[in-house]
Structures are given as structure tokens and as C-alpha cells.
Amino acid sequence: MTIERIIQKFKENHPGEDTTVLSLAFEFASVAHANQKRQSGESYIQHPLHTAYILTEIKADLATVAAGLLHDVPEDTDRTLEDIKILFGPDIAMLVEGITKLGKIKYRGVERYRENLKKMFLAMSSDLRVIFIKFCDRLNNLRTLESLPPEKQKRIAQETLEIYVPIASLLGISRLKWQMEDICFKFLYPEEYQELEYKYEVEKKVERNRFFQKVKSILNPKLMEAGIQYTIEVRFKHLYSIYLKMQKKERKFNEIYDVFALRLIVPTIDDCYKSLGVIHTLWKPWPNRFKDYIAVPKPNGYRSLHTTVFGPEGKATEFQIRTQEMHEESIYGLAAHWYYKIQKGSESYKTPGWVEEILDIQKEISNTNELVKKIKLNIFQDRIFVFSPRGDVFELPEHATPIDFAYAVHTNIGNKAAGAIINDKFGSLDQKLKNGDFVEIVTEKNRPYPNRDWLKFVKTKRARDHIKQFAKKSTLENIRKFIPGIKK
């Protein structure tokens, strides 16, 4: 991979934009990672380059691609986040910081790690660009999984399926989702993967092409007659999705009837319904296999018409009909959505609630950077996620303080709290913590009780209950000291 290819790809989607910052980010990262090698033996810079390239494929903006190039610099080299901030500005530095924080989650037991990672993703979701970078980073790591020991391969694949894939699906980034799934499938179930790959890729390839040509030759004149411009392609079925289908319905490969699937891309929504009419006139539709996801989109915003017909030779043939815009949205998810809204303007459609909120904010702002900055996903707004020095993540209510954090970690740490170090700087015990803060509590061994004054600012019930309990006890003990004869 080269920086030239990245810049070229970026300009396809953002013509006329000044890409100097990409060249500079590349120079900076190359020098920083010089002499470092990946496990596979290739030079380290290839990894950020590939990450950045995948980002341009999902049409990410300039700052995001630049951050993709820089994403491993603070963690793995002598250059710091502060250097990046000075050279590339706060926006890019903020994205790199997000990725660096995600990387700080340590692996200590499967359950805990997954929980921490999930929480951290939620914390970072206030700027979805961080998640996009993390996903592209992960995809490149998956593609080079070959060079890791088998134990680690399995763990990474499992974790990707459990955490990354559902989030990618939620955000509608199906392109990343499928690619991740098929790689994970290969490492987790190598035998099943190979068998399916052989059947699907090798055995069926010739047959698929012959059938495709036949459908095309029948469909083409009818669509031309109806005045519909179109492109048609064989829909690539993903091995993992075939595998899941076989599991769920306990069917054999040959019985998965919609393995032959075609995709029709037409200029307008009107053309979608017109083409559907053409297809249904040519071939009889299967009962209950028609879905109108244009009128009623899927929760992640996916739109298309789906139908299965008794095609040529009586073979079940599935069609997906959509516009170019719907097509790109189905592949790039929210990323494409922003891109389209910003680049071209478009008709709106029904979207899930939380996406709706993003879109509302978006309507008010025309500039991409401003837009992404202002996006706060309301579902996570009343919670913050705070790191312990060991890399555990604690979920706290908004405006929680170091004392709340201390009690969340351990009762004894709460009771003996004397000071707080927040993001490597001394902080006060009553200051409001922010999402993603790293907090270390300084304890005082001989401190007998928690301070009753803490009740004035703590936010969690847990902290309040413990402080009250000790306050009561300390009052009683004080009374006992003054009245020596009293019975315990």
C-alpha cells in the first residue's frame, strides 16, 4: 500500500479537497514507526497505510483518514499525542486519542475484557469516527491474522464476532461486517469454512455465471423497453451467512435456495418499483418472499426491494432492487449517509430514533467536522465511562466524582480516598469526571473514616450509602470515647 493510492482514492470521493495533511501524516508516521516490523515481518507503516485505505473505501473524511495514518503513533513510538496535537491540530489529535484509549483496555479474562471493550465502544460512540477507525484497524489486523499463534487467532476472531460485528451491523456498515465475519469464520471453523468455500467458490462458479447470463438475456430487453437504465450484478453471498442459514434451518448447502441472488441498481425509487413489475411479469414470485424495505426500512436504515421468483429453468432466483444511494448506504452505513447528505443532499427516509437525532443535528450544520463534533448519541448521554489505572472501565452517572469512582472500584478505596490523579494530573475529589477519563485514587492508609462532607457532591447511591454508614459509626464511637462507661 502506498500513500499515493490513498490520496487518489480519497479524491474520488472528495474532489478538490486539499490532501496535504495526508502526505504530512504519512511522513510523520513513517519516521515514527521507522525500523518497526509487524509480526508478519512487513514494515510497520503498512498497517496504518492499510487502515487509512480502508477508511477511504468507506468514504471517511480528511481528518479521519489522517488519524488512521497516525493511529498507532502515541502507543507504539516515542512521538506523543501532544506532538500530534501541535502538528495536526485538536480534531485529528482527538481522534487518535480515542483510538489510543480503546487500545489501553487490557486483556485479563474473557468476560471482563468483553464487558470493558463494549463499554468503551459506547463511550467513544459520541464521535463515531473513532469507531470507524477502530474497525478499519481491526479489519487490517484480521487480514494479517495468519502470522499470529493459533490461540491468539481464535481469541481475536471470537472477540470480533461478539463485539465488533454487532456494532458494525448496528451502524449499518455491512461491508466491514461481512469481511470481518468471513475472516473470523475461517479461523474459528476452518473445516466448515473450507468445505463451503470449495462448494461455493469452485463448484458453483461456472454454473452461477451461465445462469446469470441467461437471466440477463431475458431481463435486458424488457427493462430497455420500460426505459429503465440499470446495472446488474451477481450478489456475492458471504460464506458465514450461508453457514448461519444452514445451522438455523438445518439445511444442506444445496437446499439453501437463495444462493443465486442478483442485484439490480436503478436511478430512482420509481424505477425500483417499475423494475419489480417487470420481474414479476416475467417470472412468478414465490409466495411470502417479497419484502419492501423501501417503504419500511430495516432498523439500521437499510432500504431495498427483495423478491424471489421462479426464474429461468424454474430455479429460485432472488433479486434485490435499489438505487445507487441505497446501495452505498447498505455498504457503508452511516458513513455513506453523511457523505450523501453532505455531498448531494437527498430525500429523507424513515430511520431509527438515535440516527434520527444525528440527522436532526446534521440538518442544522453544513460542515462535516462541525457536524461530527456535535453528534452526541442521546442514549449514552446520562452515563460516562471511566478507566482505572489497570485498564478496567467503570460506568458512572453523568457528573460523577472521583469519590463515586473510588467506591465503584472498592469500598476500601472509597473509605480511604485522599486524592485523585485524573489523566496524569492532580485533581480534586469533588470534580466532575468526564467520559474516557483515566482516574487513579490516592489512598491514605490511616484514614479512619470517609469524610461526611463528601455527601454534598457524590452522585452514586453506593458512595452515599457507605459514607452514611461510616458517619453513623464514627458518631457513635466518638460518643463512646467521651462517655467511657457506655456499653458497646
72 binds Mn ion (CB under 5 A): yes
392 binds Mn ion (CB under 5 A): no
Q: How far apart are CA 244 and CA 169, in angstroms?
A: 16
Q: How far is the CB of 47 from Mn ion (least distance, A)?
A: 6
- 137 or 440: whose CB is closer to Mn ion? 137
Only one of the segments 65-73, 206-214, 270-278, 332-340 lies at the binding site for Mn ion (rule: CB under 5 A); that segment is: 65-73
Our CB check for Mn ion shows the closer of 137 and 271 to be: 137
DSSP classification of residue 379: G
Instruction: Report the chain's terminal Cα–Cα distance, integer Å.
Output: 76
Scanning 108-116, 129-137, 236-244, 324-332 for contacts with Mn ion by CB under 5 A, the matching segment is: 129-137
> Looking at residue 299, what DSSP letter applies?
T
Alpha-carbon Rg for the chain in angstroms? 28
Scanning the structure block, which residue is given the C-alpha cell 502526505? 23
User: Left (φ > 0), alpha (ψ -120 to 50) or beta: where does 97 sit?
Assistant: alpha
* Shorter beta-carbon distance to Mn ion: residue 56 or 304: 56
By C-beta, is 81 or 413 nearer to Mn ion?
Answer: 81
Grid coordinates representing 207?
A: 454454473
Segment lying near Mn ion (by CB under 5 A), choices 67-75, 324-332, 360-368, 451-459: 67-75
Q: Is the dihedral of CA 481, 484, 487, 488 positive or negative?
A: positive
Nearer to Mn ion, 36 or 247 (CB): 36
C-beta of 50 vs 466, nearer to Mn ion: 50
DSSP, res 237: P
The letter for the amino acid at 443 is: T
Residue closest to Mn ion when measured from CB atoms: 137
Whether 161 and 188 have beta carbons less than 8 Å apart is answered as yes
Nearest residue to 3 (alpha-carbon basis) of 63, 46, 62, 34:
46
Q: Shortest distance, CB of residue 214 to Mn ion, whole angstroms?
A: 46
Q: For the residues of 34-81, what is the DSSP string, one character each?
A: TT-B-TTSSBTTHHHHHHHHHHHHTT--HHHHHHHHHTTHHHHSS--H
CA 417/CA 429 separation, integer angstroms: 8
Shortest Cβ distance from residue 434 to Mn ion (Å)? 25
Please identify, among the stretches 23-31, 69-77, 189-197, 354-362, the one whose residues bind Mn ion according to the rule CB under 5 A.
69-77
Which among 132-140, 192-200, 271-279, 369-377 is the span making contact with Mn ion, rule CB under 5 A? 132-140
Whose Cβ is closer to Mn ion: residue 72's or residue 97's? 72
Task: Give the residue numbers annotated as catalytic, written as ranges.
Answer: 75-76
Count of residues that interact with Mn ion, criterion CB under 5 A: 2
SS3 377: coil
Judged by CB under 5 A, the stretch of 2-10, 137-145, 296-304, 329-337 that binds Mn ion is 137-145
Q: Taking CB under 5 A as the rule, does residue 137 contact Mn ion?
A: yes
Q: How far is the CB of 333 from Mn ion (least distance, A)?
A: 21
Shortest CB 72 distance to Mn ion, Å = 5
The helix-helix angle for 128-143 and 90-103 (nearest 10°) equals 50
**Rounded Cα gap, residues 468 and 412, in angstroms:** 14
Interface map 370-389 toward Mn ion (x if CB under 5 A): --------------------
**Shortest distance, CB of residue 103 to Mn ion, whole angstroms?**
8
Q: For residue 349, give every residue at least 6 positions away whose Cβ sits within 8 Å of its Cβ, in sequence order, or none.
A: 294, 297, 301, 303
CB of 52 to Mn ion, least distance (A): 11
Complex with Mn ion: residue 106 or 410, whichever CB lies closer: 106
Q: How far is the CB of 334 from Mn ion (least distance, A)?
A: 22
Q: Which residues does 86 contact at the CB level (< 8 Å), separation at least 6?
A: none
In the structure grid, which three cell numbers stand for residue 218, read together? 431475458
Q: Where does this chain bind Mn ion (CB under 5 A)?
A: 72, 137
